[in-house]
A = this chain, B = another copy of it.
């Protein structure tokens, strides 16, 4: 198997050049659920896949481990993160904690053209929901997260934006693991409601809706401890 999916933006200004691209490519693959939780990411394989040395592969995996998307176990290797139910709860607790604040900040600074941009996103999201197929599903997942990330971007705080990046990405992992409903991106309409509340400047309501929205996503999860079923238990009985 040769290098399959690269094709990302050219480059940023910071960080080491090569590793960044690999990092982003893997990150996208995880967020779009082409890579399942627990999948082993050996440095050799990653390096071969992107035609770089283990050095760069390793750097990329390290970077991903800082965001919690990959867990590296000493002398054993790197794996796509497999968040525990407790971790999942903490991720959503963190989102409940920060997203209302981000929303308030964003609403305070939002411009008409940015509102337009948000609506554009919503439209796109709705369109994807109608389509069929894996690619549409993946795009939909991404679009669903993009709504929250765009709000963070509008808030104008780069630090919170980066944090939300991490939280949204990890949320995607959690949903992949524990999500029940087939509807991957829950409550598209809820996004619309939030925008509407922002537009009529009803911040308290917007925050309430945001919290409701997050709770709604979380409610779709089945966070019972799974005892790594891959063993004989799966076949007994």
A residues in contact (CB < 8 Å) with B: 13-17, 55, 59, 62-63, 65-66, 68, 71-74, 87, 90-91, 93-94, 97-98, 101-102, 105, 157-160, 163, 167
Contacts and interface: CB of A to CB of B under 8 A. Distances in A.
A131 to B, nearest CB: 34
A152 to B, nearest CB: 11
B74 A157 contact: no
A15 B101 contact: no
A159 B16 CA distance: 26
In the complex, the count of this chain's copies comes to: 2
Q: Classify the secondary structure of A's interface with B.
A: helix
Nearest to A66: B66
A17 to B, nearest CB: 6
A98 B95 CA distance: 10
A65 B98 contact: no
Contact of A66 (B17, B63, B87, B90): B63
Contacts of A74: 13-17
Given A59-B62, A72-B15, A163-B163, A158 B90 contact: yes
Per CB-CB distance, the 4 closest pairs between chain A and chain B, nearest first, are A97-B101, A66-B66, A94-B159, A90-B157
A15 B65 contact: yes
Given A15-B65, A101-B101, 20 more contacts: A14-B65, A14-B72, A14-B73, A14-B74, A15-B74, A16-B72, A16-B74, A55-B55, A59-B59, A87-B158, A87-B159, A90-B158, A90-B159, A93-B105, A94-B160, A97-B98, A97-B101, A97-B157, A98-B98, A159-B167
